[in-house]
Amino acid sequence: ARPRPRRTVGDSLEEFERDLISNLYYQRGTTIESASGPDGYHTLAVTVRDRLVDRYARTAAAHYAANPRFVYYLSAEYLLGRQLRQNLLYTDTERWVRPIAEDLGVSPEALEVYDVEPGLGNGGLGRLAACLMDSMATLDIPAVGYGIRYEFGIFKQTFRDGKQVERPDDWTFYGNPWEFPAPDDRQLVGFYGTTVADPKDPENLRRKWTPGETVRGEPSHMLVPGYGTQTVNIIRLWQARASRESFDLARFGVGQYVEAVDDIVRAENISKVLYPDDSTEPGRELRLKQQYFLVACSLRDIIRRYRLRNSGWEGFADKVVIQLNDTHPVMAVTELMRLLVDEHGLGWDEAWGITRRTFNYTCHTLLPEALETWPVQLLERLLPRHMEIVYAINHFFLEEVRQAYPGDEDVVRRMSIIQEGDERRVRMAHLAVVGSTAVNGVAELHTKLLAGTTLHDFAQLWPERFHNVTNGVTPRRFLRMANPALSELITEMLGDEGWLTDLERLHGLGPHADDPAFRAAWRDVKRHNKAGLAAAVERSTGVLIDPDALCDVMIKRFHEYKRQQLKLLHVITMMNRIRADPQATYVPRTVLFGGKAAPGYHAMKLLIELVNAVAGVVNTDPVVSRYLRVVFPADYNVTKAQFIIPAADLSEQISLAGKEASGTGNMKLALNGALTIGTLDGANIEIRDRVGADNFFLFGMDTPAATALRRSGYSPRSFYEADFELRLAVDTIASGTFAKGDRDVFAPVVDAMLGRDEYMALADYRSYVDCQDTVAEAWTDPDRWTRMSILNTARCGFFSSDRTVREYCEQIWKVDPVRVGEA
């Protein structure tokens, strides 16, 4: 028998300390006496990481032995957040770090500033991918996440004169201790070129593609540990590198130094930068290249892994299930067909059966402009063989449609994967539905609207394909790590930490909601968290905030449909009321905004400028600032979310009904005891169903009302004219109050409101402001407020991503856990 691999780390304090010192010497090449902050951070990181490597090795061995069905999660984005504290928690080494660090004269907090968050995503979609990966590992699901190792992640947001300025996010500048390069598993990816017929295939379904350009994909992986289990899964990230022949020595020899590296630059640009979600910008070739690069590398890796334990193709879809995170990786459908038919010689029908059984698709939007389409011309040039395969898939699919609806050419036109018109385009969502077994929306309303509108024809033809899986969030990062004080109180009340992996146990807090001592303790925690946030906000913005004021937060990407402009109209209304009657008393509030606008989204960048300008006026007005403060810390990200969310009293979820697919910030905030003011949109509806209508501030039109108003010819101006406070708020912007008297600066904001008001903010204004008055009223009764807050936490257990993953497993993936033994 082969000797068992040597365990490299132990699980005692002594071994941990020994490894720290050894790593400082031999990994970092320095000594305790001369170590810098980064030396200390890096040493701690690799020492903790090595504990996970042990578990990963055992996970890989257990998976190899069991040869289970694997989930492969394909996502263009992952927003993992900082890794150090998570991995300290998951390896249960946190308790040792403080004494050891203190021995050495440093604090763990001082080291954490060097822990850089990998910003490999834009917002909700990328963070959901991270939460699902966390829950899959926690539930012992064999899974691999695939993504792109962008050299530059989501841009860093700074403000200059209140305007958003974007700076590059060079997240690996000081090295990344959390990833392992895996150069042996590199893959080659082709682009451009030509296709020719296969003389042996009279049907012309098998052809040969000769790419005109090839690029290498080099993988590295990050470890994804489960909480309270030995499972460690991985996320494999691909970086584009030039193929070996790319350096043009001849050109270099004659002094053409720039031209000599042309091909290298072109290849490496593919994974250079994350695209900042910008559905307004026309599709760009490089973005499509990124998508195919991810897909091509990942599928080859999946097949490589399948072949380690299996042979033949009959069993492929039994061992492999691929989840497509939105349409970004949808070219995987055509790529798997190409690999099976062209490269492995399968017949078309057999290949299609396998492909369709392998894929599932999650849709994350309802906005028509966010549904991806790519010009046929671009695809024909960049991926000529894939375009042919799209045509063939569409041909067989439309035959099926014609059989189901004889003579109905209109339904054929609507459902076709190809959108006809001046410029023909490929509809990626249609390709995704046609190529998948299951399609899911991310909240009940979203799924209903998908099946009823956007994908209605498909839901009619294939009702069995449509599922709902309501999103969730990981309670480890967003409750235990972000809010240690509340976590301790919860554990004390419930008797143990079981709630961390069985979040419905939070229901046990419900009966204590009327206990005065518990309420007082709950309030103390919130105040403590607010004081912490106040200190951080003062350091970063210079604005002083009162920890006793109502902390009202709106944290999310800036988008018109999310309606930051509506929140701002409310802020201006509060300001105008205080100015009109300075003698009256008002509930003190701090309004906190956080979020980025896509660099090309000019309307939202101007709105950001306006938020900052309003903050400037409000915070420096001696009377207004007694009751109202507005703060907008720059560069909202996962790290900042973990500071802000535990301090929030009020969660703003005010999108126009029918526009927010789900939302997940709404869940994180409610779980931390913030009360929601929200519309009947996305998962807000399910939050309200669970916490109870009495513990949720509802306002605004529902989806049918919004649809009806739009159909009847919506006129924002009539709402403006009919409501004195609304008119005053809009006029305050128009008057130049927030631009030192210049009426032009924010005129486009006013024009957008009075002209189109695409998301009908003005129609919901009165209902919103009145609802905010009931919020303020409720705040004046701290016992009642605290009771509502406790009940929000107690009743949000459903929104754990563990539950989300269980639903995917049962409805869609049909995978079973594999337990990994202790060392």
Q: Which residues does the annotation mark as catalytic?
A: 364, 556-557, 562, 664, 668
- Are 228 and 198 in contact by the 8 Å Cβ rule? The answer is no
Stretch 453-472 residues interacting with ligand 26M (CB under 6 A): 471
277/649 with CB nearer ligand 26M: 277
Report the C-alpha gap between 577 and 326 in whole angstroms: 45
Q: Which residues have a Cβ under 8 Å from the Cβ of 208 and sit 6 or more positions away?
A: 195, 196, 197, 198, 342
Q: Least separation, in Å, of the C-beta of 377 and ligand 26M?
A: 19
Residue 122 binds to ligand 26M (criterion: CB under 6 A): yes
**Amino acid in position 767:** S
278/702 with CB nearer ligand 26M: 278
What's 341's DSSP letter? I
590/664 with CB nearer ligand 26M: 664
Q: What is the 3-state secondary structure (H, E, C) of 29-42?
A: CCCCCCCCHHHHHH
Residue with tokens 């790419």: 211
How far does Cα 290 stand from its chain's mean position? Answer: 18
Residue 365 binds to ligand 26M (criterion: CB under 6 A): yes
What's 702's DSSP letter? -
Return the residue of 101, 240, 295, 442 that touches ligand 26M, per CB under 6 A. 442
Residue with tokens 């030509």: 194
Of the CA atoms within 13 Å of residue 127, those in its CB half-sphere come to 26
Residue 142 binds to ligand 26M (criterion: CB under 6 A): no
Residue 331 binds to ligand 26M (criterion: CB under 6 A): no
Report the C-alpha gap between 328 and 429 in whole angstroms: 10
Residue with tokens 């967003």: 478
Q: Indicate the angle between helix axes 724-734 and 761-779, nearest 10 degrees.
A: 110
- Print the binding letters for residues 286-315 with ligand 26M: x by CB under 6 A, - otherwise: -x----------------------------
- Are 699 and 679 in contact by the 8 Å Cβ rule? The answer is yes
Residue 277 binds to ligand 26M (criterion: CB under 6 A): yes
**Amino acid in position 56:** Y
154/534 with CB nearer ligand 26M: 154
Q: Least separation, in Å, of the C-beta of 125 and ligand 26M?
A: 3
**Amino acid in position 587:** V
Find the part of the chain contacting ligand 26M (CB under 6 A) among 181-189, 275-283, 288-296, 629-637.
Answer: 275-283
Residue 123 binds to ligand 26M (criterion: CB under 6 A): yes
Return the residue of 176, 243, 279, 310 that touches ligand 26M, per CB under 6 A. 279
Residue 663 binds to ligand 26M (criterion: CB under 6 A): yes
How many chain residues are in contact with ligand 26M, going by CB under 6 A? 21
Return the residue of 300, 364, 425, 477 that touches ligand 26M, per CB under 6 A. 364
What's 339's DSSP letter? I
Pairing mode, if any, of strands 213-225 and 232-242? Answer: antiparallel
Find the part of the chain contacting ligand 26M (CB under 6 A) among 117-125, 421-429, 478-486, 545-553.
Answer: 117-125
Report the C-alpha gap between 720 and 790 in whole angstroms: 38
- Print the binding letters for residues 53-82 with ligand 26M: x by CB under 6 A, - otherwise: ------------------------------
Token pair of 106, please? 């440093």
- Print the binding letters for residues 622-641 with ligand 26M: x by CB under 6 A, - otherwise: --------------------
93/373 with CB nearer ligand 26M: 373
Return the residue of 47, 220, 239, 662 that touches ligand 26M, per CB under 6 A. 662
Report the C-alpha gap between 486 and 521 in whole angstroms: 9
Residue 39 binds to ligand 26M (criterion: CB under 6 A): no
Find the part of the chain contacting ligand 26M (CB under 6 A) among 215-223, 276-284, 339-347, 725-733.
Answer: 276-284
Secondary element (H or E) of residue 372:
none
Report the C-alpha gap between 650 and 335 in whole angstroms: 47
Return the residue of 40, 108, 119, 124 that touches ligand 26M, per CB under 6 A. 124
Token pair of 153, please? 């992640």
Q: Least separation, in Å, of the C-beta of 429 and ligand 26M?
A: 12
Give the number of residues written for the chain. 823
388/686 with CB nearer ligand 26M: 686
Report the C-alpha gap between 573 and 729 in whole angstroms: 6
Stretch 665-694 residues interacting with ligand 26M (CB under 6 A): 682
Return the residue of 260, 451, 661, 760 that touches ligand 26M, per CB under 6 A. 661
Residue 664 binds to ligand 26M (criterion: CB under 6 A): yes
Residue 703 binds to ligand 26M (criterion: CB under 6 A): no
Torsion sign, CA atoms 225, 230, 232, 233: negative
Residue 108 binds to ligand 26M (criterion: CB under 6 A): no
Quick check: helix, strand or coil at residue 137? Answer: helix
Give the residue among 555, 509, 505 at the shortest CA–CA distance from 800. 505
Q: Which residues bind ligand 26M (CB under 6 A)?
A: 122-125, 128, 275, 277-279, 287, 364-365, 370, 442, 471, 660-664, 682
